[in-house]
């Protein structure tokens, strides 16, 4: 071996070695306009890498491999991209459908599911190779293909999702991911448009676009079907123009209470999760979009729709009052807590930065430049159910 070749090889290996580090404090920040993601470190509150070439990242979301090394990014253009956080590069990228809306990773980490609008259905992929495993066409009782929304993972190696046009909730068992077994719950309500599952993976709740109320399924007893809760929740509440239907993933569940963005109103609804009944309403600054609970459940942080989207409010979950109004800047799009809750990261799209707040002092402690940042996702999600 010639010395120059050896030196080049050494440099190459040294570059590889630079990424010997833990992955529990990593995360992704989506830079939507550029089809790029940043890899960030929540300990040093710093950017580690920037990766381009992920396609259309409008409403993009991400899940993580169980070792917290890889992110799977779901783009609006049907792109599914596997990113290596340690090497700061794309491992593989496929265009799996024309138009997708989100994805999930199975409990055992082996299967990636992507939900699609067009053609409506769910596709399953091998988490290691991204090879296709199966497709579940979303043909409801109406005989037509529905858009699929509200896809989440659930315990028992299952995925749960909703059919928009057909008004159904399906549960796919992926023990054999090449032959998923599907259980169908019919007539759950008109036009489910989004959904969430509680942190323990038991309760699946779909919002309805076509009527008021929400559809609740007990995943311990799917044979009991869906029941309607919060019958007045929805567009029927509208007194104000609805700028944006709130995300259901944006529900905060803190202890025995859930905090829901009201639709079209400047309020947060407080619901007790035993009987799923409304117990209070909290007046807030604008139409809430996301209400996120700090991991210890003591605070809920809320951001708002246009034209109030420069503001974030912090609610105390004991007094049910706003304890602080913050103005991070123009177009606050998303918030993500560190897993033990000492920090929250906030994307300020039109401010061109991500701000890190100390959740106790309620003050910014760091700012990271980012080009039109939107979603923020930390690797700790790998260890949680239903994300």
- Footprint on this chain of its own copies (rule: CB under 8 A): 1-3, 6-7, 9-10, 13-14, 16-17, 19-26, 42-43, 64-70, 85-87, 107-109, 155-157, 200-202, 220, 254-256, 274, 295-298, 318, 338-342, 360, 379-380, 382-385
If the CB atoms of residues 153 and 267 are measured against its own copies, the closer one turns out to be 153
The least CB distance from residue 40 to its own copies, in Å, is: 13
Nearer to its own copies, 162 or 317 (CB): 317
Least distance to its own copies from the beta carbon of 179, Å?
Answer: 17
10 Å Cβ neighbour count for 363?
Answer: 10
Helices vs. strands in the chain: H and E counts, helices first? 1, 32
CA 126 to CA 10: how far, in whole Å? 34
Q: Residue 211: how many CA atoms within 13 Å on its side-chain side?
A: 13
Cα angle value 145/151/155 (rounded, 5°):
130
Token match 């091998």: residue?
A: 126
CB of 113 to its own copies, least distance (A): 15
Residue with Cβ nearer its own copies (199 or 210): 199
Residues 6+ apart with CB under 8 A from 330: 309, 310, 348, 349, 350, 351
Least Å from the CB of residue 297 to its own copies:
5
Give the integer Cα–Cα distance in Å for 173 and 22.
32
**Burial grade of 277 (CB within 10 A; 0-12, 13-18, 19 or more):** exposed
Instruction: Provide, rounded to whole angstroms, the least separation between the CB of residue 341 and its own copies.
Output: 6
Nearest approach, Cβ of 206 to its own copies (angstroms)?
Answer: 20
Nearest to 370 by CA among 350, 386, 385, 384: 350
Q: How far is the CB of 383 from its own copies (least distance, A)?
A: 4
Of residues 55 and 199, the one with the C-beta less far from its own copies: 199
Cα–Cα dist 20/4, whole Å: 25
Please state the closest distance from residue 212 (CB atom) to its own copies, in A.
28
* Residue number, 29 or 163, with CB nearest to its own copies: 29
3-state SS assignment for residue 292: strand
Q: Identify which of residues 146 and 359 has a Cβ nearer to its own copies in the complex.
A: 359
Beta-carbon count within 10 A of 36 CB: 18
> Nearer to its own copies by C-beta: 176 or 318?
318
DSSP state of 58: T
Find all residues with CB under 8 Å of 153, minimum gap 6, and list them: 104, 105, 106, 107, 113, 159, 160, 197, 201, 385, 386, 387
- Minimum Å gap between C-beta 303 and its own copies is 22
In the complex with its own copies, the residue whose CB is nearer, 277 or 340, is 340
Q: How many CB atoms lie within 10 A of CB 62?
A: 25
Of the pair 84, 194, the CB lying nearest its own copies is at 84
* 332-337/257-261 β-pairing: unpaired
């Amino acid at each position: 071996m010639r010395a120059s070749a050896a030196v080049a090889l050494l440099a190459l290996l040294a570059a590889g070695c630079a990424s010997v580090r833990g992955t529990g404090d990593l995360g992704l920040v989506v830079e939507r306009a550029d089809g790029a993601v940043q890899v960030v470190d929540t300990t040093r509150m710093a950017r580690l890498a920037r990766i381009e070439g992920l396609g259309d990242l409008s409403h993009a979301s991400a899940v993580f491999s169980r070792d917290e090394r890889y992110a799977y990014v779901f783009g609006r253009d049907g792109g599914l991209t596997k990113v290596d956080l340690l090497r700061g590069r794309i491992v593989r990228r496929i265009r799996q459908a024309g138009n997708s809306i989100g994805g999930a990773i199975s409990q055992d980490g082996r299967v990636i599911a992507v939900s699609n609008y067009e053609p409506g259905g769910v596709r399953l992929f091998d988490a290691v190779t991204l090879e296709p495993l199966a497709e579940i066409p979303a043909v409801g009782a109406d005989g037509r293909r529905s858009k699929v929304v509200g896809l989440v993972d659930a315990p028992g190696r299952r995925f749960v999702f909703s059919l928009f046009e057909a008004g159904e909730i399906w549960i796919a068992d992926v023990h054999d991911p090449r032959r998923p077994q599907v259980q169908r719950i019919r007539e759950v309500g008109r036009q489910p448009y989004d959904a969430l599952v509680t942190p323990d993976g038991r309760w699946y709740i779909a919002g309805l676009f076509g009527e008021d109320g929400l559809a609740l399924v007990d995943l311990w007893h799917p044979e009991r079907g869906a029941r309607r809760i919060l019958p007045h929740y929805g567009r029927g509440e509208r007194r104000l123009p609805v700028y944006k239907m709130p995300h259901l993933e944006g529900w905060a569940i803190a202890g025995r209470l859930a905090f829901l963005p009201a639709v079209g109103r400047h309020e947060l609804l407080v619901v007790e999760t035993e009987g799923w009944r409304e117990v209070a309403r909290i007046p807030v600054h604008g139409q809430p979009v996301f209400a996120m609970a700090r991991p210890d459940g003591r605070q809920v942080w809320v951001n708002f729709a246009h034209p109030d989207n420069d503001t974030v409010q912090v609610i105390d979950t004991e007094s049910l009052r706003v304890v602080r109004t913050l103005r991070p800047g123009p177009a606050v799009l998303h918030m993500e807590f560190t897993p033990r809750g000492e920090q929250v990261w906030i994307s300020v799209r039109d401010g061109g930065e991500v701000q890190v707040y100390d959740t106790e002092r309620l003050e910014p402690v760091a700012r990271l430049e980012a080009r039109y940042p939107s979603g923020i996702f930390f690797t700790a999600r790998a260890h949680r159910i239903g994300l």
